[in-house]
Amino acid sequence: MRVQILGILNVTRDSFSDGGRYLTPEQAITHGRQLVADGADIIDIGAQATNPDAEEVSADEEIRRLTPVVAALRQEGVRVSIDTWKPAVMRAMLHLGVEMINDVTGVRDPEAVAVLRAARASIIVMHSTATGPRAERSDVDARTIVTRVLDFLRERVEALEAAGIDRQRLILDPGMGFFLGRDPELSLEVLRHLDRLATLGRPLCVSVSRKSFIGATLGSAAHPRPVPERAAGTLAAELWAAQAGVQYIRTHDVRALRDALTVWQALRRSPAEAATADRPEQRGGQ
């Protein structure tokens, strides 16, 4: 399967990387179009930041921010994912035709389960060491983090399937950065063992873009590299994930990732495969 790129579009005031840049519908729609032009397969739109210091946004406000952006992009045929854990937001956005819901809480709200059971959209089920989107992260050990993530995601797949949601709709996200904890080694260890998560038999989605562990790895925990200087480190981690067989990568820097994947995939092809790919009839030409 070709790696699917989810371009991140934050319609928020306080997202850690780009909060406030795309808050108006016009700004958000323009950026969504640019992400598509840069090579995004899906636009993942969120209206509530998930960092611990973010403002609390009501479901009504999320819907108000999202509706004009989603409606415009869907009218243009853009595939849309919605980053939310709130059932009311899920329901409203599903009515607008979004094809994916990205829930950072792992779809643990029974009302969210009911909303999604009645829909057909794919569901990104994310692991977090917190019990809720704004709760404190529990203490974890890098030596056991992979087992913890594996057990959590297995339990969620089984629970959602038992609740009537087809497992074929599920995409699994191990969580990265602060969703795992402050220690950058936690994220690095999960990335090293993506093959273990693949044993769950569902596609994986990884979102490392500009995250805290990238900054700490490039600098230190006390003095992390600033967000604008994390692009190369982000791309290295994303290519590692692609090499490990991850099917979905969620990123801010769509063009850099699409270009890197294009060259990487060209290098993997044999001369015979490359020659076949270059024939006009293989590209739909006459």
Q: In the structure, what pLDDT confidence band is assigned to residue 19 with cuts at 50, 70 and 90?
A: low
CA distance 117 to 68: 25
Q: Are 113 and 106 in contact (CB under 8 A)?
A: no
Grade residue 57 by pLDDT with cuts at 50, 70 and 90: confident
User: What span, in angstroms and rounded, lies between the C-alpha atoms of 5 and 35?
Assistant: 10
pLDDT tens digits for 148-164? 999 999 999 999 999 99
Q: What is the pLDDT of residue 268?
A: 87
Average pLDDT for the chain: 90
CA triplet 98, 78, 169: central angle to 5 degrees? 40
Lookup: tokens for 77: 């045929």
Return d(Cα 234, Cα 236) in angstroms, integer. 5
Whether 211 is catalytic is: yes
- Sheet of 42-46: strand order equals 170-173, 122-126, 100-103, 80-83, 42-46, 4-10, 248-251, 205-206
Band of pLDDT at residue 284, cut at 50, 70 and 90: very low
Has residue 248 got a pLDDT over 50?
Answer: yes
What pLDDT sits at residue 50?
A: 74
Per the structure, the complete domain to which residue 125 belongs is given by 4-283
Number of structural domains (the chain) is 1
DSSP-derived letter for residue 43 is: E
Q: Which of 13, 211, 255, 279 is catalytic?
A: 211
- DSSP symbols for 111-169: HHHHHHHTS--EEEEE--SSSSTTSPPPP--TTTHHHHHHHHHHHHHHHHHHTT--GGG
Query: Which of 2, 250, 268, 279 is flagged as catalytic?
Result: 250
Catalytic: 108?
no
**Domain holding 201: CATH number?**
3.20.20.20
CB 82, CB 96: distance < 8 Å: no
- Residue 245 half-sphere exposure, CB side, CA atoms within 13 Å? 12
- pLDDT at residue 42, rounded to an integer: 98
Contact 41, 5 (CB under 8 A): yes
Residue 35 CB neighbours (<10 A): 26
Q: What is the pLDDT of residues 97-140, one digit of tens each?
A: 999 999 999 999 999 999 999 999 999 999 987 755 555 556 78
